[in-house]
Structure 1
Amino acid sequence: MPELPEVETIKNELTPYIVGQCITDVSLFWEKMVRRPSVEEFRSRLIGQEITGIARRGKYFIFGLTSDEVLIIHLKMTGSLLLKSDSAEPDKYVRAILHLDKGTALHFRDPRKFGAMWLVEGRNAVVGKLGPEPL
């Protein structure tokens, strides 16, 4: 299970590569990981958005978007985020791919299928009830 220091490291490593990139397409191979909104709305509202920043709250990744919405991702027990070439074939455990405009793609790999994603107006809809930030 990725713990808080690993989540912080992943955030720090992804930031210089994906902030400023536009989401050109979304591939979902396990639709149940999208918790909010519907899968169709999730895809249509994400496509065309630019990633303006990445933050972390607890073990949640919070991706700022140009629409003032946020994409929230939780890796749960076995999830990982991998930056790949957009032409790279996903392995059998990749559950979602965010295709980006500079020939790259963010693969959400999750063998146990516990990971989750939300697209919401504000972060508090998902992480608002978390306790004090430990770091």
Structure 2
Amino acid sequence: MPELPEVETVRRGLERHLVGRRITEVEVGRERVVRRTSREALIDGLTNTTVVAADRRGKYLLLPLDSGDSMMIHLRMSGQVLLADGGADRPAHTHVVMHLDDGREAWYVDPRTFGEVVVYAPDRVDIELPGVAALGVDPIADEFPREQLRRIVRSTGKALKPLLLDQTIIAGIGNIYADETLHRARLRPDRPANTIDAAATWRLHAAIVDILTASIDAGGSTLGDAQYVDLMGEGGSYQDDHRVYARAGERCSTCGRGWIRRTVSAGRGTHFCPVCQR
């Protein structure tokens, strides 16, 4: 958390409010968020540059600059990007502040400091950001034909839940949307991928695209910890539509007969309905 829909919501906010703005000054607090390079590298790489686009790959925000470099922001578990008026009171754990030419400030806030902010050379992404270079297909940003998913599932005996979580295969899906997708597709999370037939593959493909799109439209999912918010500090609402995630012990709202179970798959808590997902 955040996953593809939440990061896409932040990207759209950045596209509206940060693209075209010049960064006049940069402050860096805790250096852990710039651990890949340094405080000085981030300040030098961003100061007096203009953000020319706001892109996304999987869970990574990628913002090209007019210098030819790009800025990468990875929110990981608890990161937030917030926009505020200059001089506004900053939240605790505000680790990067970008002063903009219109008087506003863009903040990177991260209580757990697992995320990071980096300036990198796009032509050296495989060296500087190997995790980005290794990403698989992005089901929203890329072309994602059903036949591509069919090739993926036929090529591996990996269980479906770990397959969906593997960012080198399909980029952007995390624990929430893997559970919701498999429920929509009526597939058990522990089923080997290469045992599902073409009809089940088409259901899975439709579920991936539909679940992610619906969550983006709802501004993502904001859970009880309220750590995910958009650029303006507003939460999403897709958590109200979750059918299985974090609903262990509840009656399934899809079939009305099963009880949502929680198990562990690939080291992650996994939720499913044993009636819907046989």
Shift of 1:37: 3.0
Divergent runs of 4+, >2 A:
35-38
Contact 1:36 1:120 in 2 (8 A): no
Q: Is residue 2:94 matched to residue 1:94?
A: yes
| Greater share of residues in helix | 2
| Paired AA for residue 135 in structure 2 | L
Residue 70 of structure 2: aligned partner = 70
Shift of 1:14: 2.1
Greater RCO, 1 or 2 (C-alpha within 8 Å, sep 6+): 1
| Greater displacement, 101-110 / 118-127 | 118-127
| Greater displacement, 62-71 / 91-100 | 91-100
1:1-135 → structure 2 map (5 Å cutoff) = 1-122=1-122, 123-124=125-126, 125-126=128-129, 127-135=132-140
The gaps in structure 2 that reach 5 residues or longer are 141-278
| Greater share of residues in strand | 1
Q: What is the TM-score of this pair, normalised by structure 2? A: 0.47
Tell me the number of residue pairs that the alignment of Structure 1 and Structure 2 aligns. 135
Q: Percent identity?
A: 37
Deviations 1:77-102 (A, max 9, x none): 01111111121121212111111110
Alpha-carbon distance between aligned partners in 1 of 2:97 and 2:35, rounded to the nearest angstrom:
16
Contact 1:36 1:42 in 2 (8 A): no
Deviations 1:61-112 (A, max 9, x none): 0011001100000001011111111211212121111111101111111111
| Paired AA for residue 132 in structure 1 | V
Alpha-carbon distance between aligned partners in 2 of 1:109 and 1:46, rounded to the nearest angstrom:
17
Secondary structure of the equivalent of 1:118?
Answer: strand
Shift of 1:115: 1.0
The gaps in structure 1 that reach 5 residues or longer are none
Note the aligned Cα RMSD (angstroms): 1.3
Contact 1:36 1:119 in 2 (8 A): no
Secondary structure of the equivalent of 1:88?
Answer: coil
Q: What is the TM-score of this pair, normalised by structure 1? A: 0.93
Alpha-carbon distance between aligned partners in 2 of 1:31 and 1:37, rounded to the nearest angstrom:
9
Deviations 1:5-53 (A, max 9, x none): 0110111122111111101111111111113432212212210000101
| Paired AA for residue 129 in structure 1 | A
Shift of 1:133: 1.1
Secondary structure of the equivalent of 2:102?
Answer: coil
Shift of 1:114: 0.8
